[in-house]
Structure 1
Amino acid sequence: MNFEVKLSVHEILKNKHFGNAEVIAGKAGLYRLVRWVHVLEVTSIENLLSGNELILSTGIGCKGDKAAFKSLVKQSIDSDAAGLCIELGPYISDIPQEVIELANTHDFPLIAFHKKVRFIDITQEIHSLLIKKHYQILSDLEEYSNRLNQLLLSSNPQQKILQLLHEHLKMTVFYISNEGKVQVLSKKTSGEQEKIFQLLKDNKIPRHMNVAHQSVQALNQTFADLFIISEVDAITEFESLILDRSAIALAQSLLRELYIEEQRKAKEAEWVSCWLEGDSNNEQIHQYLSELEPNLKPNGCTVLLCKADNLEKVKSEFTYLKIYFRSIFEQRGIVLLSHLQKSKLVFILLNNWKTGDFKRRVQDGIECLKDSEFIKKQKFAQLEFSVGKFVHNLSHVKNSYHTAKETLNIREKMPNELSNYFYEDLYIFRLVLAAKEQGVLSEFISDYLGPVLMHDQHHNGELLKTLKVYLRYKGEKKATAEQLHIVRQTLYHRLEKLYELIGRDFMDPYKRQAIEVAISAYEYASASELQYEYAYISKSS
């Protein structure tokens, strides 16, 4: 792990080997960080440095050539070296004024040894110091992590973690939750804090301000953003790791709070079950919700069903699953109440914003869930969603629950016909369901499609498919033939048979509508347990 150890040129000058050294130029840059000490005796060094090296040289490569020496200094500056130490002697007897001016212009430390020194002693000493600092950083990081673990076991750990981060790094700390709640730990005035917050919000960080950011994430969901801000030094990798450890600890604290809150709300399951069955009146519902969420003012609601084939296998993770679902929808102004039913999760979605875009927000939430890494890691064999009718009166949740089940039922049976999640998008299938409930669906199908079904059954024909495609393309014979992959003559033959079975007037508006409903009803019935009933009716006809 390559940490940016904070060892400056100024600190190195205090070393015993620099007792006879003199800073000739670039005194303003003495606090540059030194990552390594490097001995160079060549004049072309552009590709030899990575930055922040303190260069040691006798100047043998320059051999008294002032232009070559100036080029060496220029290349060092361009390579972002920390400084250049020159041993004055037979190769370079003094530092040219133009080189001093160049170094001062760029605040580049230029250091001269007036006596001969052993570079090997300097490199060994400084490298040992760098390694010691490196190990000290590892030790500090381990100690910091242990302190975080201790804070996680205390009460109100979030505030204590933020305080520890602020005190340890001596930097301004901003914690901004998804709900917009802002916590600041800083020695700056409230006015200065507000100005910094606005800069963060607008993403307009000035050059003099060094900012590091880390998301506070749990269950693959971001709950807050954590920032550290320095207006003095650049933020090192070590300080970034401290920030990262703090963000992880905050996420653990947050997840624990959410888990405890979900456990507290576990009693809601029984009450939600009664609500779904219509056993609660408006007064009871509002009283319960006010106790559960004091600031909640629901503006209508709907029921969301989520079906998973292997839900029983992840039942132990149900609390975390609820936390994840809740976080997704709360970001979209929807409060969620949950109930577990064997292979289904039942959620009452309480709208906390305006109703105009409620459907879009629910749709966004479902799509977010289906695409999320957290859900994918649960390895559900299949995940199906359906949304019931939106109701303004909370006591009518039973109706929304019933329609959500109907929607799920139809979506499962006819996945190729229905891609939308909402009951309101069932369209003609709502009539099919109504006819089924009234017990007239079989008769309706038989009245309008009976002869066609009988013919296909006895002759292994495709008249029903032809009829459906012909109606879909509004009687356009060319498009129908192309869709069915048959020649025109074959289509004409089939149409003559259809005329014979159901009449030449099947394209008349009202009859056509009835036939289209009957086709949808038959497909629904064929995909359900009712298919044998219709097969029997067709035979008896």
Structure 2
Amino acid sequence: MNFESKLSIDEILKSKHFSDANVIAGKGGLSHPVRWVHVLEVTSIDNLLNGNELILSTGVGWKGDPTTFALLVQKFIDSNAAGLCIELGPYVQEVPQEIIDLANNCDFPLITFAKEVRFIDITQEIHSLLVKKHYQLLSDLEDFSNRLNQLLLSSNPKPRILELLYEYLGMRIFYISNQGEVTVIPKTNVSDQDKLFDLIKTNNIPKNMNVAHQPVQALNQTFADLFIISETEAITEFESLILDRSAIALAQALLRELYIEEQKKAKEAEWVSHWLEGDHSKEQIQTHLFELEPDLKPNGCAVLLCKASNLDKINSEITYLKVFLSSIFEQRGIFLCSSIQKNQMAMILVNKRKKHDFKRRVQDCIDCIKKSDFIKKQNLTKMEISVGQFVDQLDHVRNSYRTAKETLSIKEKMPNEIRKYFYEDLYIFRIVLAANEQGILREFIYDYIGPVLEHDQQNNGELLQTLKMYLRCKGAKKETAEHLFIVRQTLYHRLDKLYELIGNDFMEPYKRQAIEVSISAYEYAVASKQIFDASYFSISKTS
């Protein structure tokens, strides 16, 4: 069912007021669409036309001047006017041959009225036709939308929607999912399909081919791309509206499928929790993943933790949140299994592609989540994200889970120091964590900066801050003084005191590294509320 979505000159010629009209040139353009009727009697038209107007004129503007007449017709053609109707009479007795030739060469319809006509009657009639056409288009669009709604109530509606789109438009349909699935209607041989797909993908569309595109979007994410292709005429506004309605229906169908899948996964949250704790064997994990996605070929995984203060307050939106997150990761080759406990969501990111760019892809996902309007609308405040260590074996997820929790813990305690999301980017704090777990952190801190801490506590001093900045500036005194907003002489006094407390050799490579670690460890201990004072150090050294 291919509805005519435009009023053509050919249709207008069948109306009552054109019964005595004569097409003297440009018959190849009688299919031109007419969007409005415009009476023009002037020669300066630079800002008067928008395109697709049928122009009515008596010729009074050029008064028999063939040169001006020819220039004006050329301007009409350049402005993409639909055609020109001329009333023959006192101003124009006949149309010169050169103008007829110009119109024929450009398929620009020239129509003459041998008898006197009332332009007001013509405009009224054509505008009435345009209104009827517009009403018919709205009716057709409403009919199409109703049929789409009926299909959405059926099982597996996607192929039926694509078939309905082809039925209405009679154009070639191209549907390309983010996973690389390509559907073409009507079906063609593989070589022609691949050739057409390459033209679309590279945006190298031939001039004789007209293409309209509409993304299939839901939850601010694009899941697929829908194209209609016409190899004859330009794609009309009506056809674009039909394409748009089809893309929306496809998005609704896809969202429903994802919602159902996510509900199934939600029932398995407890299973995922046991996986995170290391309670499942490798075989059990592989069997379970195969049931979820038979084509899944895992290539390592990592755990991502997402913590937000009010995550437990959006229960009605949790499934949509999971659908949204799954779509983001799926587009980047990552299969998602998740479990929510109070204000924290644990996500197992199963890698489906090569390992070398896994971190970059995860970073892209995090950036997308942070910027998303969907997340902002959920008002998830104080969102914090961490990613654990990448593991090659699915049954080693527990290690990634542990390191993700460690990363999240440090990020919460030291938000100004740790701005990245990945465990591997903790750098020196990984050593600090290990030392703290082994119970040697306090002793290590005291051994290298204990005297400095005691001095600052007793004298309300700023030696530790001076030492940290001096090391950060690699011993450059001028730069250090500028960063501390002190004069050079004050810095010299402080450095003399530091030499006295921790030795003149604190800039030597190995000792400097130990001091830098101890400063980071002290800041971590303070953030963790493991407050040290001079009396504690004295006890710990003598005990």
Tell me the CA shift for residue 189 of structure 1: 6.0
Is 2:457 the counterpart of 1:464? no
Aligned to 1:151: 151
Instruction: Give 3-state SS (helix, strand or coil) of 2:201's partner.
Output: helix
Corresponding residue number in structure 2 for 1:390: 390
Deviations 1:296-327 (A, max 9, x none): 22222111111112212223212111122212
Structure 1 residue 507: deviation in Å? 3.0
Question: Is the 1:215–1:224 contact (alpha carbons within 8 Å) kept by the matching residues of 2?
Answer: yes
1:282 aligned partner = 282
Deviation at 1:149, TM superposition (A): 1.2
Q: Are the structure 2 counterparts of residues 480 and 56 from structure 1 closer, same or farther at C-alpha, using a change threshold of 3 Å?
A: closer
Q: Is the 8 A contact 1:454 1:539 kept in 2?
A: no
In the other structure, the counterpart of 1:294 is 294
Q: Secondary structure at the match of 1:338?
A: strand
2:228 matched to 1:201? no
> Match for residue 537 of structure 1?
536
Match of 2:59 in 1: 59
- The answer to whether residue 378 in structure 2 is matched with residue 367 in structure 1 is no
Q: 1:375 to 1:535 in 2, by over 3 A?
A: farther
> Alpha carbons of 1:378 and 1:99: their partners in 2 closer, same or farther (altered >3 Å)?
same
- What does 1:230-379 correspond to in 2, within 5 Å? 230-379=230-379
Shift, 1:289, TM fit: 1.9
Q: 1:535 to 1:339 in 2, by over 3 A?
A: farther
Deviation of 1:5 after TM superposition, in Å, equals 5.4
Q: Does 1:165 align with 2:165?
A: yes
Contact 2:220 2:373 in 1 (8 A): yes
Is the partner of 1:275 in helix, strand or coil?
helix
1:450 Cα deviation after fit: 2.1
1:14 aligns with 2:14: yes
Taking a change above 3 Å as real, the CA distance of residues 5 and 275 of structure 1, as seen in their structure-2 partners, is: closer
Distance 1:24 1:108 in 2: 10
User: Structure 1's 449 and 126: CA in aligned 2 closer, same or farther, altered over 3 A?
Assistant: same
For residues 447 and 69 of structure 2, the distance between their equivalents in structure 1, rounded to whole angstroms, comes to: 103
Residue 458 of structure 1 deviates from its aligned partner by 1.5
The DSSP-based 3-state class of the residue aligned with 1:530 is coil
Q: Which of 183-192 and 513-522 deviates more? A: 183-192
Q: Which amino acid aligns with 1:537?
A: Y
Aligned to 2:411: 411
Q: 1:6 touches 1:33 (CA, 8 Å); kept in 2? A: yes
Partner letter of residue 261 of structure 2?
E
| CA apart distance, 1:120 | 2.1
Q: Which runs of 5+ in 2 are unaligned?
A: none
Q: Tell me which residue corresponds to 1:210.
A: 210
Aligned AA (1:342) = K
Decide which moves more: 247-256 or 301-310: 301-310
| Alignment partner, residue 483 of structure 2 | 483
Q: In the aligned structure 1, how far is the partner of 2:149 from the partner of 2:492?
A: 79
Which residue in 1 is equivalent to 2:512?
Answer: 512
Does residue 109 of the first structure (1) align with residue 109 of the second (2)?
Answer: yes
Instruction: Between 212-221 and 110-119, report the one with greater CA deviation.
Output: 110-119
C-alpha distance in 2 between matches for 1:435 and 1:408? 18
Q: Is the 8 A contact 1:21 1:114 kept in 2?
A: yes
Q: Which amino acid aligns with 2:281?
A: N
**Which residue identity lines up with residue 397 of structure 1 in the other structure?**
V
d(CA) in 1 for partners of 2:311 and 2:538? 41
TM-score w.r.t. length of structure 1: 0.94
Q: In structure 2, the residue corresponding to 1:286 is in which secondary structure? A: helix
Partners of 2:484 and 2:254 in 1: CA distance? 58
Which residue of the partner structure matches residue 441 of structure 1?
441
**CA distance in structure 1 between the partners assigned to 2:375 and 2:320 by the alignment:** 11
Please name the residue that 1:420 is paired with: 420
Shift of 1:166: 0.9
Confirm or deny: 8 A CA contact 1:33 1:52 kept in the other structure: yes
How many angstroms does 1:352 deviate by?
A: 1.7
Normalised TM-score (structure 2): 0.94
Change (3 A) 1:356 1:197: closer
1:225 aligns with 2:225: yes
Kindly state the Cα deviation for residue 227 of structure 1 after the two structures are TM-superposed. 0.6
2:452 is aligned to 452
> Is the Cα–Cα contact under 8 Å of residues 454 and 534 in structure 2 kept in the other structure?
no
Following superposition, the deviation at residue 536 of structure 1 comes to: 5.9
Deviation at 1:501, TM superposition (A): 2.2
For the Cα contact (< 8 Å) 1:386–1:405, is it kept in 2?
yes
Partner of 1:42: 42
Quote the Cα distance in structure 2 between the aligned partners of 1:60 and 1:36: 21
C-alpha separation in 2, matches of 1:446 and 1:476: 26
2-structure distance, mates of 1:192, 1:395: 46
1:448 deviates by: 2.5
Pairs aligned (count): 537
Moved more, 188-197 or 350-359: 188-197
1:168, distance to aligned residue in structure 2 (A): 0.8
Identity across matched positions, percent: 71
Report deviation, 1:438: 1.4
- Provide the C-alpha distance between the structure 2 equivalents of 1:138 and 1:536, rounded to a whole number of angstroms: 84
Partner of 1:182: 182
SS at match of 1:336: strand
Contact 2:5 2:239 in 1 (8 A): no
Q: Distance in 2 between matches of 1:59 and 1:431?
A: 90
Alignment correspondent of 2:494: 494
Cα–Cα, structure 1 residues 440 and 148, in superposed 2: closer, same or farther, change >3 Å? same
Please tell me whether the aligned partners of residues 268 and 337 of structure 1 are also in contact (alpha carbons under 8 angstroms): no
CA contact (8 A) 1:176 1:225 kept: yes
How big is the shift at 1:351? 1.6
How far apart, CA to CA, are the structure 2 residues paired with 1:194 and 1:474? 59
Stretch of structure 1 that moved more, 112-121 or 522-531: 112-121
Structure 1 residue 539 displacement after superposition: 7.5
CA contact (8 A) 1:386 1:408 kept: yes
Cα root mean square deviation, aligned:
2.0
Distance 1:70 1:187, change over 3 A: farther
8 Å contact from structure 2 (residues 454, 533) kept in 1: no
**Residue type of the alignment partner of 1:120:** I
Kept in 2, the 8 Å contact 1:302–1:350? The answer is: yes
- Residue identity matched to 2:475: G
CA separation of 1:65 and 1:295: change in aligned 2, threshold 3 A: closer
Greater shift, 467-476 or 13-22, is seen at: 467-476
Q: What does the per-residue CA deviation read over 1:242-293, in whole Å, with 9 as the maximum and x for residues that have no partner?
A: 1111111110110000000111112321111111112112222222222222
Please give the alpha-carbon distance, in whole angstroms, between the structure 1 residues aligned to 2:60 and 2:517: 96
Measure, in 1, the Cα distance between the counterparts of 2:121 and 2:425.
81
Instruction: Measure the CA separation in 1 of the matches of 2:128 and 2:421.
Output: 66
SS at match of 1:54: strand
CA shift for structure 1 position 21? 1.6
Could you tell me whether the CA contact under 8 Å between 1:310 and 1:343 is conserved in 2? yes
Following superposition, the deviation at residue 510 of structure 1 comes to 3.4
Distance in 2 (alpha carbons) for counterparts of 1:198 and 1:356:
28
Deviations 1:31-63 (A, max 9, x none): 111112222233433432222121222223333
Kindly indicate whether the alpha-carbon contact (under 8 Å) linking 1:333 and 1:351 is maintained by their aligned counterparts in 2. Answer: yes
Is the partner of 1:380 in helix, strand or coil? coil
Deviation at 1:192, TM superposition (A): 4.1
* Inter-CA distance 366–187: structure 2 relative to 1 (3 Å threshold): closer
Q: Residues 5 and 133 of structure 1 are in contact (CA less than 8 Å); yes or no, is this contact kept in structure 2?
A: yes
> Measured at CA, do residues 35 and 187 of structure 1 come closer, stay the same or move farther in structure 2, by a change above 3 Å?
farther
- Select between 179-188 and 58-67 the one with higher mean Cα deviation: 58-67
Residue 61 of structure 2 aligns to a residue whose secondary structure is coil
